[in-house]
Chains A and B, each alone.
Chain A
Amino acid sequence: MSTLTAAHGLSALAAAAPADRIPAPHIEYAQLAPTLIVVGAAVLGVLVEAFVPRRSRYHVQVFLAVAALAAAFAAVVGLAAGGYASDKARIAAMGAIAVDGPALFLQGTILLASVVAVLTFAERRLDPAAHGNRVDSFAAQAASVPGSESEKAAVKAGFTTTEVFPLALFAIAGMLVFPAANDLLTLFVALEVFSLPLYLLCAVARRQRLMSQEAAVKYFLLGAFSSAFLLFGIALLYGYAGSVSYAVIADVVDGTVQTVDPALADTMGNDALLLIGGALILTGLLFKVGAVPFHMWTPDVYQGAPTPVTGFMAAATKVAAFGALLRLLYVVLPGLRWDWRPVMWGVAIVTMLAGAVIAVTQTDVKRLLAYSSIAHAGFILAGVIATSAQGIQSVLFYLAAYSFVTIGAFAVVTLVRDAGGEATHLSKWAGLGRRSPLTAAVFAVFLLAFAGIPLTSGFAGKFAVFKAAAEGGAGALVVVGVISSAIAAFFYIRVIVLMFFSEPKADGPTVAVPSPLTMTTIAVGVAVTLVLGLAPQYFLDLAGQASTFVR
């Protein structure tokens, strides 16, 4: 009980008399090292913006970001090697953060995906140099009105938005906390910490600024809307359990704990609060993973955001959000599984089908990939619903496989360009295979992985997820999943056919030769796709070892 009362802000404030001394919280810095390193680097990045001369900022920021992510990954590996993923798994920071297998696996995935994504942020060879300065995908000065004199001046002066690196680091820090959050408030704070920088990042595209800004505003408005749902759900759950701690709520759901706080005696144990609160929190998380009907921001934002940001967001956000969803459903609400499972069934089915069906008529590569990501969210949900260790394992594996395919695919999209920047309209991709066979072949590999063709990571992931779902008694869901996969295969293969079997257009786009940065991203994407496709067992085992949540 003592840990419970001291656990967190709300209860502590309500219970403590003014005369009491608030005890200093006990923080296990070593176990939180991955997050702390990234946050520290982000703060340093802000200082770099303030104090380092403009000329060297780019190099300093890229180095800082990559070094911080690498160090954080090393910390994750160190923790996992130290047994925190298995027998030493525990809850740190006074009940706020879980250090366990799923958390470490997902944090590792997020960090690795972020490293390759940050490399595409740093790409400066795709666009021709403006006024002798190399330019990247981001606006010269985010605050200037598109097309205005101040923007022209900024371009001429060679300004670049190097703030994207600290922003990305803040977002990554939030994402690291999100799947590890072990109480509802930490969950909410992490959500905001990673969302706000993403809204900003979406707005700073160099080309098509208006579309980019529109996307950012939409994302922000809808994100705020969903946050409100989440927050309301948190309030209701607090009313139900008298605590925001996952463990306590779970105990109250199970009936192990009857009363926590006399002030809440009227509402505690009221199932309406629990069910409505749980559904509202689910809404918030389903928004982030892009499940239907909370998906509508996805195509617009994916299309409008600068493509490197889209890739980053599509991969890392999904990993973090699914991690949080898993923890919520497996740690907080397992006692409620007979209530939420049918609902999630419905969500998964609608998500798979809608994502696959609507993608069929898309004409823009980025929107196509957006709908594809919706369909994939549905597939992953099928694994989530399995409610078994295998389900967790398959979801972890799927997320790792999917994030590298996604970042790689969006990185390829940045290469295909014409006079107006990236040529994302599908008609322009016709005959790409004749003009640039290597680029088209690489993209084909990613598309085949999305489609789940054997020998790619997509197949291994999909197989694992469907197997877990079928064994968890969700056979019908698997059938719908396979049908959706068939529909989805149509539009993936259509792009391949378009690239390789259509006549190239006379005014077609050119494929830019990227710097080693983007090349590394794409190469890593292809390598992971093939390795996870050809020899998935080691990684499946790894995900299997990491599939136990601590309570």
Chain B
Amino acid sequence: MENLIALLIAAPLLGAAVLLCGGRRLDKAGHWLGTLFAAASFGIGVALFTDMLGRAADDRTLSQKLYTWIPVEGFQADVAFQLDQLSMTFVLLISGVGTLIHVYSIGYMEHDERRRRFFGYLNLFLAAMLLLVLADNYLLLYVGWEGVGLASYLLIGFWQHKSSAATAAKKAFLVNRVGDMGLSIAIMLLFTTFGTFAFGPVFASVGNATEGKLTAIALMLLLAACGKSAQVPLQSWLGDAMEGPTPVSALIHAATMVTAGVYLIVRSAAVFNGAPDAQLVVTVVGAVTLLFGAIVGCAKDDIKKALAGSTMSQIGYMILAAGLGPIGYVFAIMHLVTHGFFKAGLFLGAGSVMHGMNDEVDMRKYGALRKFMPVTFVTFGLGYLAIIGFPGLSGFFSKDMIIEAAFAKGGTQGWILGGVTLLGAGITAFYMTRVMLLTFFGEKRWQPDAAGHEPHPHESPKSMTVPMVILAFGSVFAGAFFEIGERFLKWLEPVTGYEHGNSPVSAMAVTASTMVVLVVGVGIAWSMYGRRPVPVLAPRGSLLTRAARRDLFQDDFNHVVLVRGGEHLTRSLVYVDHSLVDGVVNGTAASVGGLSGRLRKLQNGYARSYAVSMFGGTAILIAATLLMRAV
């Protein structure tokens, strides 16, 4: 069975190779091929899953070693995979949602003449993401990590003719480099501390390392997670990444890749458990991002950017949960999975709306679409209910567990974190209701596009609606399915460990207060956007609104601090380079040249002076030889 693991990755990798190298003759069939390879990977994943279920809980880890990648004495890196419950969860999510989004893209990208290439990149992404979650050592994980970064870059900038898309791709790439630095430093530290990269040996010997070392490693891993998962302070790229085609936003920038940071932290649980200070930083990052993303999501009029803010905020929940330690690991992953369903569904719904509205993204120019796009409305609506935590739907269970876990952290920390998560739940209810109301309710506020075409909203083709329906099912039922009989907890506990914690408030109280903030959030949104007509042009808004529209000045901050600072730094470095380094180098060169010019004058062309030189040389040679004997 373990021999199948490599096939999980090989199928989409082969797909990417075929599609990207196959050339024009594959244009007609490329999208089908790409979908087929993704589905094949999902099929293998399901087969492995059923096999895994058939085995006892403590015997579910499979491993496969392909070959030794870097065989150097004392520096062994294998291409080897490890499939346990955690990886399995990701494999099913990645290949399952991935396949659905491949299907969706068939319709969505129908008129794009570079569709084959798009599917090639999607396959490449799947392969890299699967490698990331299946690697059994940090070095190989790093390969997948960089692979998804590359795929993300290629797909954000897929419409490279738009300069905004090209810029967004570059921005995502650059910001991610900062995080990647963190990961590479973490790996080096791991190697110097433990002498290996492999998960098993590292986690087994965590006890031998000092807490300081573990904290350093954990913080570097957190930096990596911040980059990939768009957490404060490396969050700025995610909003711009929405320049990519919508299926990409759904798959990479909502459901899977951006959750890689959560995977990294949960996978490295042993390291984080040994570094409480680092864990505290993780929860702080999660809490800040949770609010940051939610506030930004409230002010955006671009439907995809509002959803991007929401993604950031929801991942903030997961990171926060992961920072709680064994209390929260399971719920971080559970929320990750349910979020994968409903956020992918929401993005696909948004894509469907854009598809019907001449690619308009401004929600203020939507309105009343529920009558024209019933399937989209229903599936989007179910996703909406799931994300705000409507009782019984997926988000209700998973988010509720995180809020409980935050309180269970105990002490002041517990109260603060619990309060933040509750507040976040309220804001989530507000901004998602806003999106829902602006898009599907109210009056028509449609505007002709730049070319003067009036929009004629219509339901999207089957290839797009079917994946939306399937994801809606997941949004509705996944949470309850996981929660009944604590299925998910039992499934994942052998890998991540679990502690109940000591919550100062009862589970009922938490649920009740969640309901209250939910109702308040929905109510405020209704009073602002449901009862009154919505202006097509955004009003000036309060200071906070304006700040949120500008992403809470994230880019201004980066510009002033990093760009200007960087420019100053490079300028001073250039100065040092010119005056000092070049001075030394050129000085050496000039003195060698000067010496050369002087020495060559000795070569004056007269045989007599050559003879003198020889004679003198011989005299010195003899004298030196005699001297050597004398001393």
How far does the alpha carbon of A221 sit from the alpha carbon of B608 in the complex, in Å?
9
Interface string of A242-283 (1 = CB under 8 A from B): 000000000000000000000000000001100110111011
Q: Is the CB of A339 within 8 A of B618?
A: no
Say whether B583 faces chain A, with CB atoms less than 8 Å apart. Answer: no
Name the interface residues of A289-305: CB closer than 8 Å to any CB of B: 292-294, 296-297, 299-300
- Residues in B with CB closer than 8 Å to A293 are 613-614, 616-617, 620
Complex CA distance for A342 and B626, rounded to whole angstroms: 11
Taking the complex as formed, is B541 at the interface, i.e. its CB lies under 8 A from any CB of chain A?
Answer: no
Q: Find chain B residues with CB under 8 A from A280 CB.
A: 618, 622
Task: Number of A interface residues at 8 Å Cβ cutoff, please give it.
Answer: 40
A358 touches B596 (CB 8 A): yes
B-side interface size class: 20 to 34
The answer to the question of A226 belonging to the interface, with a C-beta cut-off of 8 Å to chain B, is yes
B628 within 8 A of A: yes
Task: Say what secondary structure dominates the interface of chain B.
Answer: helix
Report B601-614 CB contacts with A as 1/0, cut-off 8 Å. 01101010111011
Question: In the complex, A211 Cα to B599 Cα: how many Å?
Answer: 22
Whether A338 pairs with B628 at a CB distance below 8 angstroms is yes
Using a CB-CB cutoff of 8 Å, which residues 335-363 of chain A contact chain B? 338-340, 342-343, 346-347, 354, 357-362
Q: Which residues of A contact B597 (CB under 8 A)?
A: 361
Q: Is A218 an interface residue (CB 8 A)?
A: yes
Instruction: Name, among B599, B602, B610, the residue most crowded by chain A CB atoms within 10 Å (CB to CB).
Output: B610
Give chain B residues whose Cβ lies under 8 Å from the Cβ of A342: 624, 628
Does B595 interact with chain A (Cβ within 8 Å)?
yes
Bound-complex Cα distance A194 to B139 (A)? 63
Cβ-neighbour of A218 out of B599, B607, B622 (below 8 A): B607
Within 8 A of B (CB), among A481-504: 487, 490
A455 CA to B599 CA, complexed, in Å: 33
Q: Is A287 an interface residue (CB 8 A)?
A: yes
In whole angstroms, how far apart are the Cα atoms of A490 and B613 in the complex? 27
Instruction: Say yes or no for B592: interface residue by CB 8 A criterion.
Output: yes
Q: Are A226 and B614 in contact (CB under 8 A)?
A: yes
With the chains together, A51 CA to B587 CA distance in Å? 64
**Contacts known (A217-B607, A360-B592, A361-B593); A279 close to B625, Cβ less than 8 A:** yes
Which single member of A229, A275, A297, A362 contacts B625 (CB below 8 Å)?
A: A275
A226 to chain B, nearest CB (A): 7
With the chains together, A272 CA to B626 CA distance in Å?
Answer: 8
CA distance A272 to B589 in the complex (A): 44
A272 / chain B contacts, CB cutoff of 8 Å = 626
Residue A222 CB within 8 A of the other chain? yes
Do the beta carbons of B593 and A229 come within 8 Å of each other? no
**A357 contacts B595, CB within 8 Å?**
yes
Q: Is A29 an interface residue (CB 8 A)?
A: no
Measured in the bound complex, the distance between the Cα atoms of B628 and A275 in whole Å is 10
User: What A residues does B610 contact at CB under 8 A?
Assistant: 218, 222, 296-297
CA gap between A226 and B614 in the complex, in Å: 8
How many angstroms between the C-alpha atoms of A218 and B607 in the bound complex? Answer: 6
Question: At the interface, yes or no: A63 with Cβ under 8 Å from chain B?
Answer: no
Which residues in chain B, 560-619, are within 8 Å of chain A measured between CB atoms?
A: 589, 592-593, 595-597, 599-600, 602-603, 605, 607, 609-611, 613-614, 616-618
Picked from B613, B625, B628, the residue with its CB within 8 Å of the CB of A296 is B613
Contact B607 A283 (CB under 8 A): no
List residues of chain B with CB within 8 A of the CB of A343.
Answer: 621, 624-625, 628
B28 close to A (CB within 8 Å): no
Question: Are A294 and B617 also in contact (CB < 8 A) when A217-B607, A218-B610, A361-B597 are?
Answer: yes
Main secondary structure of the interface of A (DSSP, over half): helix
Within the complex, what minimum Cβ distance (angstroms) separates A347 from chain B?
8
Least Cβ–Cβ distance between B590 and chain A, in angstroms: 11
CA distance A175 to B621 in the complex (A): 25
User: Which residue on chain B has the smallest CB distance to residue A271?
Assistant: B629
B622 partner residues in chain A, CB cutoff 8 A: 275-276, 279-280
- Given the interface contacts A222-B614, A299-B603, A338-B628, does A360 sit within 8 Å of B621 by beta carbon? no
Measured in the bound complex, the distance between the Cα atoms of B609 and A271 in whole Å is 31
State in angstroms the CA–CA spacing of A487 and B590 once bound together. 12
Among the listed A217, A222, A283, A339, which residue makes an inter-chain contact with B629, where contact means beta carbons less than 8 Å apart?
A339
Question: What B residues does A276 contact at CB under 8 A?
Answer: 622, 625-626
B131 to chain A, nearest CB (A): 33
B607→A340 contact, CB < 8 A: no
Task: Considering the complex, give the chain B residue whose CB is closest to the CB of A220.
Answer: B607
Q: How far is the CA of A273 from the CA of B95 in the complex (A)?
A: 90
Give the interface centre of B599, B602, B621 by most chain A CB atoms within 10 Å: B621
Q: Which residue of B lies closest to A293 (CB)?
A: B617
Q: Please report the C-alpha to C-alpha distance between residue A272 and residue B623 in the assembled complex, in whole angstroms.
A: 11
For the complex, give the distance between the alpha carbons of A358 and B617 in Å.
18
| A121: min CB distance to chain B, Å | 27
A297: B residues at CB distance < 8 A: 610
Q: Mark B290-315, 1 if CB is under 8 A from A, else 0.
A: 00000000000000000000000000
Chain A residues positioned under 8 Å from B589 (CB to CB): 490
Q: Are B618 and A358 interface neighbours, CB within 8 A?
A: no
- Residues of B with C-beta under 8 A to A300: 603, 605
**Interface-centre pick from B602, B616, B617 (highest chain A CB count, 10 A):** B617
A278-B595 Cα distance, complex, nearest whole Å: 32
* A354 near B625: Cβ-Cβ < 8 Å: no
Contact B600–A358 (Cβ < 8 Å): yes
CB distance from B161 to the nearest CB of A (A): 34
Contact in complex: A275, B614 (CB < 8 Å): no
Q: A346 and B624 in contact (CB under 8 A), knowing A296-B610, A357-B592?
A: yes
Given the complex, which residues of A lie within 8 Å of B617, measured CB to CB? 283, 292-294
B593 near A275 with CB under 8 A, answer: no
A226 to B603, CA, bound (A): 18
Chain A residues lying within 8 Å of B607, measured Cβ to Cβ, are: 217-218, 221-222
Q: Tell me the complex Cα distance, A490–B621, Å.
A: 31
**Which of B595, B611, B618, B626 contacts A221 (CB under 8 A)?**
B611
| A283-B618 contact in complex given A217-B607, A300-B605, A357-B592, C-beta closer than 8 Å | yes
Write out the residue numbers on chain B whose beta carbons fall within 8 Å of the beta carbon of A490.
589, 592
Instruction: List, in ascending order, chain B residues with CB within 8 A of A271's CB.
Output: 629
> Are B625 and A283 in contact, CB atoms less than 8 angstroms apart?
no
Q: How far is the CA of A25 from the CA of B602 in the complex (A)?
A: 50
**What's the least CB distance linking B26 to chain A, in Å?**
37
Complex Cα gap A279–B599 (Å): 25
Within residues 16 to 56 of chain A, which ones have a CB less than 8 A from any CB in chain B? none
The interface residues of chain A lying within 8 Å CB-to-CB of B613 are: 293-294, 296
Residue from B595, B611, B621 in contact with A279 in the complex, judged by beta carbons closer than 8 Å: B621
Q: How far is the CA of A438 from the CA of B328 in the complex (A)?
A: 67
| Residue in A closest to B623 when the chains form the complex, CB atoms | A279
Contact indicator A279/B592 (Cβ below 8 Å)? no
Q: Which residues of B contact A357 (CB under 8 A)?
A: 592, 595-596, 599
- What CA separation (Å) do A276 and B620 show in the bound complex? 11
A225:B611 contact, CB within 8 angstroms: yes
By beta carbon, the residue of chain A nearest B611 is A225
Q: Quick one: given A339-B628, A339-B629, are A358 and B603 in contact (CB under 8 Å)? A: yes
Q: Which of B602, B605, B609, B614 contacts A294 (CB 8 A)?
A: B614
CB neighbours (8 Å) of B625 from chain A are: 275-276, 278-279, 339-340, 343
- Find chain B residues with CB under 8 A from A292 CB: 617
5 further A-B pairs in the complex, CB-CB below 8 A; given A296-B609, A360-B596: A226-B614, A280-B622, A293-B614, A342-B624, A361-B593
Q: Provide a sorted-by-A list of 11 A–B residue pairs whose CB atoms are within 8 angstroms.
A: A221-B607, A271-B629, A275-B626, A276-B622, A279-B618, A283-B614, A283-B617, A283-B621, A293-B620, A296-B602, A346-B624
Shortest Cβ-Cβ A-B pairs, 9 listed: A293-B617, A296-B610, A360-B596, A361-B596, A279-B622, A283-B618, A279-B625, A218-B607, A279-B621
Chain B residues close to A by CB (< 8 Å): 589, 592-593, 595-597, 599-600, 602-603, 605, 607, 609-611, 613-614, 616-618, 620-622, 624-626, 628-629
